[in-house]
Structure 1
Amino acid sequence: MAFIECRQVVKAYKIDRHEIVALRGIDFTMERGEWVAIVGPSGAGKSSLLNLLGGLDRPTAGQLKVDDQDLLALKGRALADYRLRRVGFLWQQTGRNLLGYRSALRNVTLPMTLAGMWPWQRYGRARELLDAVGLSEHIRKKPSALSGGQQQRVALAVALANRPHLLLADEPTGALDRRIAMQVMTLLNELRVKYNLTILMVTHDLDIAGYADRVLTLRDGALGQDLTRDSDDMPSIDDAGRVQLPDAVRRYLNETHRLAVEIRPEGVLLRPETDQADDTLAALQEMLPQDAPPERRGLFGRRKKAKA
Structure 2
Amino acid sequence: MSLVQAEARVGSAQAGLRLDQAVAELFPEHSRSRLSGWIKSGELTVDGVTAKPRTPVAEGAVVRLAAEVAVATRDRSEPIALKLLFEDEHLLIVDKPAGLVVHPGAGNRDGTLVNALLHLDPRLEQLPRAGIVHRLDKDTSGALLVARTLAAHTALVALLGERGIHRQYEAVVNGNVLAGGTVDAPLDRHRSDRLKRAVTDSGKPARTHYRVRERFRAHTLVECQLETGRTHQIRVHMQHIRFPLVGDPLYGGSLRLPRQATETLDSTLRGFRRQALHAERLGFTHPITGEEVLAEAPRPADLAALILALRQDRERHAD
Please indicate the TM-score interval, normalised by the length of the shorter structure. under 0.3
TM-score by length of 2: 0.25
TM-score by length of 1: 0.26
Considering fraction of residues, name the structure with more helix.
1
Which structure: larger Rg? 2
